[in-house]
Amino acid sequence: MAGTVLVTGGTGYIAGELIRQLLAKGWTVHATVRNKAKSEALLRSRVGDPGEDRFKVFEAELMSDDGWAEAVAGCTHVAHVASPIAASTPKDENEMIVPAREGTLRALRFARDAGVKRFVQTSSMAAVAYGRSEKEYTVDESDWTDVSHPDVYPYVKSKTIAERAARDWMAAEGGDMEFVSVNPAMVLGPVDDPDFSPSVEAVKQLLNGSMPMAPDLGFAIVDTRDVADLHVRCLEESGLAGERFLAAGKFYRMIEVGEALRRGLPAEHTKKVPTKVMPNWMVSVLSLFNAGVRSIKSELGKSRHVDASHALERLGWKTRSEEESIVDCGRSLIEHGVVKP
């Protein structure tokens, strides 16, 4: 089954791979970008430009109605991938929360009004696995982040509020449109060019020496190619209204990511990869001077495992090895000159 799908945030890490996979499966794709003049040529070069009849680029932003009606016109499906993300923690959490929530609701309204059959939201493990005080636990698609927990920081809160708002809106105003969410963990894998996703920043820092010791942090890891594949399955499989699918593999600590890089890449590129874990007291000292470090201080020592078996059982979705994703990510950063020996 292939129709016409709107992919929002077309220049993003997940969206670019999703567009490639959709085009390869015969879909016609509309993509939104914030600035068409700056982004269209780059986006077309990334996806192999199949021509205007199969791939169209529209200008639309999360906080404005302009361009949305044109972008979604004629679409049978929407993959809403666009969401604000910042390299550092904003002083005002609403800088992330409001665009995430309002952008999602805006995309939902225009999709419903255009007669879209299914809307797939790219949510996040941030909406599932946070706001808990335990040091180690496992979550599945029934879990939700507690945004009232003192350790929840703005990005986590924004993704949770946006998905909650989407589901509440669908129940009240969605009509016959179907809604599905995909909740990825830490997304790694190859990058297209030096303008890469913030999720890749940790691998860059491990390779370039800016992280001389690895903080005692970790994430469940998933490959961008596998996340895109799960989106395609959610767009194509029938009978998924209201479903929620977690996209995640095994949990890796930062020191383990470094070990995978050393095993998989030439030695001349891994000389700066840390071999020791940073003591927690040192992270505490750094947090006094760095807001970004301060926001993740509460994550030290936590192990959040993910049970993603629902996606396997319902959709047949499987992930490649986490080590492959880590190494492919590091190799592509080197190839694009982001990391130098």
* Residue 224 to residue 57: CA distance in whole angstroms: 22
- Which region among 85-94, 106-115, 264-273 has the lowest average model confidence (pLDDT)? 85-94
Whether the predicted pLDDT of 293 surpasses 70: no
On whether the CB atoms of residues 197 and 155 are closer than 8 A, the answer is no
Task: Give 190-202 pLDDT, tens digit per residue.
Answer: 998 776 778 898 9
User: How many other C-beta atoms are found inside a 10 Å radius of the C-beta of residue 45?
Assistant: 11
Angle at 304 (CA atoms; ends 300, 310), nearest 5 degrees? 165
Task: Give 152-189 pLDDT, tens digit per residue.
Answer: 988 899 999 999 999 999 999 999 999 999 999 999 99
* Residue 218 to residue 239: CA distance in whole angstroms: 35
* Residue 207 to residue 333: CA distance in whole angstroms: 9
Beta strands 218-223; 178-184: pairing state: unpaired
- DSSP code of residue 298: G
On whether the CB atoms of residues 167 and 180 are closer than 8 A, the answer is no
Report the candidate in 75, 80, 76, 78 with the shortest Cα–Cα distance to residue 14: 80
Beta strands 4-7; 77-80: pairing state: parallel
Q: Point out the residues that are catalytic.
A: 159
On whether the CB atoms of residues 195 and 13 are closer than 8 A, the answer is no
* Residue 303 to residue 42: CA distance in whole angstroms: 38
Whether the predicted pLDDT of 87 surpasses 70: no
Mean pLDDT, to the nearest integer, of 109-136? Answer: 97
Report the candidate in 220, 119, 111 with the shortest Cα–Cα distance to residue 163: 119
- DSSP code of residue 75: -
* Residue 49 to residue 41: CA distance in whole angstroms: 9
Task: Give 249-274 pLDDT, tens digit per residue.
Answer: 999 999 999 999 999 999 999 999 99
Place of tokens 């809403």: 80
* Residue 62 to residue 105: CA distance in whole angstroms: 9
> pLDDT value at position 315?
98
Whether the predicted pLDDT of 8 surpasses 80: yes
Confidence of residue 297 (pLDDT cuts 50, 70, 90): confident
Structural tokens at position 207 = 């390779």
Mean pLDDT, to the nearest integer, of 103-110? Answer: 98
Angle at 235 (CA atoms; ends 180, 10), nearest 5 degrees? 95
* Residue 251 to residue 261: CA distance in whole angstroms: 16
Show the DSSP H helices in the chain as ranges.
13-24, 36-47, 68-72, 94-113, 154-173, 201-208, 224-236, 254-264, 280-287, 291-296, 309-315, 322-335
> pLDDT value at position 63?
95
- What is the share, in percent, of the chain residues with pLDDT greater than 90? 74
In the chain the domains, ranked by start, together with CATH numbers, are 4-335 (3.40.50.720)
Task: Give 198-244 pLDDT, tens digit per residue.
Answer: 889 899 999 999 888 898 989 999 999 999 999 999 999 999 999 99
Strands (E) across 174-216 are located at 178-184, 186-188
* Residue 191 to residue 96: CA distance in whole angstroms: 24
> pLDDT value at position 68?
98
> pLDDT value at position 339?
86
* Residue 291 to residue 294: CA distance in whole angstroms: 5
* Residue 127 to residue 224: CA distance in whole angstroms: 18
- DSSP code of residue 316: -
Mean pLDDT, to the nearest integer, of 31-39? Answer: 92
> pLDDT value at position 289?
60
Question: Helix, strand, or coil here: 37?
Answer: helix
pTM of the model: 0.94
What is the distance between the terminal CA atoms of the chain, rounded to a whole angstrom?
Answer: 46
> pLDDT value at position 275?
95
